[in-house]
Structure 1
Amino acid sequence: MRLVNHSGQPAELMQGEIVPGQMHGSVLTRLRCRLGPDSSLSLATGDDALLDLRRDRIEDEYGVIEPDIPYPRTATDVIVLADARCPGGPKVATKVGLRVGPYEQELLVIGDRVWERSLGAVTPSSPVPFELMPLTWAHAFGGPAQGPYGPVQHPANPLGKGYALDAGAAVGQPLPNIEDPQAPIRAWNDRPDPVGFGPYPFNWLLRQQQCVEIVPGPEREARLLMYPERGMFDRAHPRLSGQQLRPGDAVIVTGTSFAPRIAFALPPCPFELEIRIGGKTWVRELELEELLLDLRRGLVELSYRKLLKYPWVPHQRREVVLRIREPEATSHQAPIQA
């Protein structure tokens, strides 16, 4: 099968034979938009234009964006790269909110604190006022704890801070800056799940708990079972993955340095796929696989994928044509009020 790309956007057909005679594939494409100060979306051009899919890993303090692969997500991932900003100047705490369709998550962002000993108890110090805080995993709960034989990494977020194995070792150590307001840390041995909006790696615990199972066996042997359909290839935090977003769903972000409030509706998918196999033709829509908001740069990326499955027949004509739907719908939803 070959891909004919008339969309004007980067795209790729990824395919392989899973079982003999049965082909599986997917067409992946991506649209990058500029986010205006009024929450409008317009196609990114010039230096911001998207020229290719993700061929290499992109890594910085905000997380790791892995290269594109043939395997689909379970539904739509939501990833936000941003900084929290306190309105009106430095404060000891603020909140950042995210609501996208069925997803809703709020972060409590607090100034720097350490555990200190007071009246025989280990308690948090008073927060230091701040104005800007990067929403990174380094500021969320986790990190290394000091054990008897050296550092012990927190399996759900080895980059974070606040993880301690005993009260004495906790004294003088920092608390996380990013917390779940529904599960605030009150004691040194609290163990909340780390929360954040950035990409969440497959090999961290919250993802592993979903798609990996250890089955005990005889004589201390065990089998490792993996379930790809449970989110193995999802890229967002588990709280922001696994549910499908639809055109018209509200996207609302509050409390970031880009703008105090962003609000727009997801645009319709601008693409359609014409599938030609043998003498038959089908036209299908693509599903939104990832919504990535890079609020450091004011960019929004929408990734779309369509899965394909078909029998392999020698010398049969097989091609897919990716094109813009009519009427063209690449952007330009008006800001929404919510």
Structure 2
Amino acid sequence: MSALLPLMTPTGQPAISLVFGRRFTIGPQGGCIDAGEHTLVEELDYYDDLGPREGYIQPSLLRRDVDLYPWRESTDLVVQGTLRLQRPSPAARVTMTVRGSQVGFERVLEVSGDRRIEQGAYGLRLSEPEPFEHMPLRLDKAYGGTDEGARVRHGSREEDAMIFDAVGEEEDREYSEFSYPRNPAGKGYVVDPESAVGTPWPNLELPDQRLRLETVVAPVDAWGERPYPICFDWFPHAFFPRVAFFGEIPMTTDGEVPQREVMMGLLPPDLTRRSLLDRPKHQLAQGAHPYLWRHRLLGDERIECSGIGLDGAPLVVELPRLAPSVRIRPRAAKSEPPRPEARLDLVLVRAETRELTMVWRATVPATQADLVGPWPQSTPYSVQWR
């Protein structure tokens, strides 16, 4: 299955994109066996098996984003899996490496068993991590969450009731003003000192951004300086920075976009001063974790992720070196346009089932005359695999 999609390019030009993909089975040594054409995903899918969750606010977590995006600035790399240990341990580390002819990077997760903040004789202390054998690499295990105590003590009951009546219980439980904008589904977010004791600690952390007891409590508007939540799974639309392209940006200490997103090149520094209509839109399509859509993959990369393969072995994926040749002829074109480059927009690895999905996109310039009426039916195209 493939799809023709209209768009305005980042430079404001009308265009047509062809989106298409293939499925693969990941072999024991990492080689990929072609499993046929990929059926493009058209509806969002959310996890419904996250297990017991604490608190009233229980945000939805994305299990699968849609494929029908006509433009992505970079390749989304999504790896869904669970760390599996040979024997119970209170701590472990997961390392993902990506190596190709033009791309190379590494991401490391520090993983710990369940812990909570306790009241000690001389102040707050952290409980010892519980040994674990399995740990899903999802956002509900990362830093974030909602300060439920602050929500009850400091929230406006009248305003909360009005929102509840307007959106209903399901939507009302997605987010609170006392939620961490980057990850309202996580653990460890505290804005009121009274809430600290009993707060669960995140299981997944970045080595250089680990949460500390000394700074675990911070004001609501200081969320931009908080540790970055980390996972390898999908990043929901309603979580910052993805929400910044179409929704309100929560108040920050200085009223500006958090510097971390600006320094990573994810958001322009003047975003808060732009109207919703004037904000860039194409980055909304980037559904991977912000740390995992920083590159344009070519399809010749080797991906290795420790501990998420069978019985806790490393999972190795050798992306197939495919170079699809695409032809698209807008219906008003007087001659055959040059063949567009097929760009790899999505690499999705499912460790549990050893499946790989790759989605490409090819884009050609168009005119308004090419996009009127039932234009997809009169726009010939083809994809040849080589």
CA shift digits 1:9-37 (9 cap, x unpaired)? x211112688xxx7411001111111122
The residue aligned with 1:53 is 40
The residue aligned with 1:24 is 15
TM-score (normalised: structure 2) = 0.71
Query: Is the contact made by 2:118 and 2:127 (CA closer than 8 Å) also made in structure 1?
Result: yes
Residues of 1 paired with 2:75 and 2:240: CA distance? Answer: 20
Matched to 1:57, the amino acid is L
- Say which is worse superposed, 201-210 or 95-104, in terms of deviation: 201-210
2:192 is the alignment partner of 1:192: no
Structure 1 unaligned regions, length at least 5? 1-9, 216-221, 326-338
Query: Is the contact made by 1:39 and 1:264 (CA closer than 8 Å) also made in structure 2?
Result: yes
Residues of 2 paired with 1:313 and 1:166: CA distance? Answer: 58
Q: Which has the higher helix share?
A: 2
Alignment of 1:1-338 (within 5 A): 10-15=1-6, 23-44=14-35, 50=38, 52-60=39-47, 61=50, 63-86=62-85, 88-100=86-98, 101-145=103-147, 146-147=149-150, 148-150=153-155, 152-187=178-213, 189-190=215-216, 191-207=226-242, 208=244, 210-211=266-267, 213-215=271-273, 223-224=275-276, 225-229=278-282, 231-258=283-310, 259-276=312-329, 277-311=333-367, 318-325=379-386
**Residues 129/24 of structure 1: CA separation in 2 closer, same or farther (3 Å cut):** same
TM-score (normalised: structure 1) = 0.81
**Residues 24/283 of structure 1: CA separation in 2 closer, same or farther (3 Å cut):** closer
C-alpha displacement at 1:312, in angstroms?
5.1
Residues of 1 paired with 2:237 and 2:105: CA distance? Answer: 20
Matched to 1:232, the amino acid is L
Q: Which has the higher strand share?
A: 1
CA shift digits 1:279-319 (9 cap, x unpaired)? 32533441110111111211111110011212355899852
Matched to 1:140, the amino acid is A
Query: Is the partner of 1:108 in helix, strand or coil?
Result: strand
Query: Is the contact made by 2:97 and 2:303 (CA closer than 8 Å) also made in structure 1?
Result: yes
RMSD (Å), alpha carbons: 2.6
Question: What is the aligned-residue identity percentage?
Answer: 25
Residues of 2 paired with 1:17 and 1:164: CA distance? Answer: 41
Structure 2 unaligned regions, length at least 5? 51-60, 156-175, 217-225, 245-256, 258-265
Query: Is the contact made by 1:30 and 1:301 (CA closer than 8 Å) also made in structure 2?
Result: yes
Matched to 1:320, the amino acid is Y
CA shift digits 1:63-90 (9 cap, x unpaired)? 342223343111101111100112x310
C-alpha displacement at 1:41, in angstroms?
0.8
Query: Is the contact made by 1:29 and 1:303 (CA closer than 8 Å) also made in structure 2?
Result: yes
C-alpha displacement at 1:59, in angstroms?
1.3
Residues of 2 paired with 1:281 and 1:85: CA distance? Answer: 50
Residues of 2 paired with 1:309 and 1:154: CA distance? Answer: 41
**Residues 66/247 of structure 1: CA separation in 2 closer, same or farther (3 Å cut):** closer
